[in-house]
Chain A
């Protein structure tokens, strides 16, 4: 296997982008990554597009073929990769393996989703199509509902409290407000969503015991990276980022068939595989982007990856250990909670944010000092298909 580098990264601001079609968003993010890599007229061999719902939301299929045509990347090989909210991670996996195998040299990986053109009702139903079509979906279960049932158990078994969840909300909103690409650009006050009498109105239950501000927003957005062999990247004389570890694992489709539904086995396995491949320990990681579609997931994933022991993740968040400057800065970008969650785009956006960190190009109030390694978790379904990447800074 060849070593693989990320030589270009780009994303467009997440949020509500009524002015753009899905294809336009994928194009804009791709162009940013191509330009960031200085590709010029260099040939791209293959394109992998992470997208979950164009067929449902835009009534559009074969978007990878449309994209290469629009970007004049013909005759590059082009495929859509769908793995629910981990479509981005799976698309990057395909690009990584294609370059590592030696088959392709230059690969574009782009992930994106346009979710805001349908009503909230329809968007919720779209995301719920991931649930089991016979034994879950008919009951009206939603992904926040799955997260609510998970949180109920996690709080009871592992002692996570609403204070712990609140710490994640406040941290990620605060960091998102500093990120020009983030969907949510405002900080929240603890008083307004927790302490004051108005908090009940401002921050009601969304899926008990989770409240409104425990959930990520529904977003439009796209992000892209350019991959090539590390040998080629090194000749450019600039710092770049190597994909040193990858892991992916699956778990039962339904929550009810897991022996212990609080055990996110796929997160544990995917991160173990990726760290083992990278020959690193959780304590070697400088910065992480975890899939906090719900605040509880940032806490649970921080434990399952091994940053903290089981039952310690919530306390660590409340103690500031996951903030910038803390023991392991998590979701410095604002995470899904504030950067936003265009489902097919998230896995790529997480990697783009880690690339920015490892190239040391962020402003001081967002840069993890001297970051050398980063880790991402992209969580598909309700933890039934999870990808993990470990990235490393390569000095020029």
Chain B
């Protein structure tokens, strides 16, 4: 179960309800500065993805699949996708979020979201 805890904080505008991630000092819709902190909930829907070759410095692998997914409570998050090929993926599919190391910096793991297609 602990893998399902996604320690991301998104920000729901208390005035108009717009959900922000990342944080903005003022609401993108109504300029309000009052936000409720919320966590992504449940599974997510894959909105788009790309298998990226020619990775940046710091990634020692042949390719990486990255996508954007929307959680059940409408928080949208970029993450790495756990799939061997884009043939396993399609937009709109349900993906299972996990919190795992996404890169190594100065010998330390950096954690982030990974999405796993539900087979």
Contact = CB atoms under 8 A, between A and B. Distances in A.
A122 B51 contact: no
Q: Which 4 A-B pairs have the closest CB atoms?
A: A148-B50, A125-B56, A125-B57, A145-B52
B102 interface: yes
Interface of B: 20-22, 28, 47-59, 64, 66-68, 76-80, 86, 91, 102-103, 110, 112
Given A138-B102, A145-B52, A124 B57 contact: yes
Interface residues of A, number: 40
B20 to A, nearest CB: 7
Interface stretch (A11-19, A250-258, A344-352, A388-396): A250-258
Interface string A140-152: 1110110111111
Contact of B54 (A124, A132, A147, A257): A124
A134 B22 contact: yes
Contacts of B22: 132, 134-135, 253-254
Interface stretch (A185-193, A203-211, A354-362): A203-211
A233 interface: no
A122 B57 contact: yes
Contacts of B58: 125, 140
Contacts of A261: 47-48, 68
A210 B54 CA distance: 12
B54 A120 contact: yes
Contact of A207 (B52, B68, B112): B52
A223 B28 CA distance: 37
Nearest to B58: A125
Contacts of B77: 135, 256
Contact of A145 (B20, B21, B28, B50): B50
Interface in A332-355: none
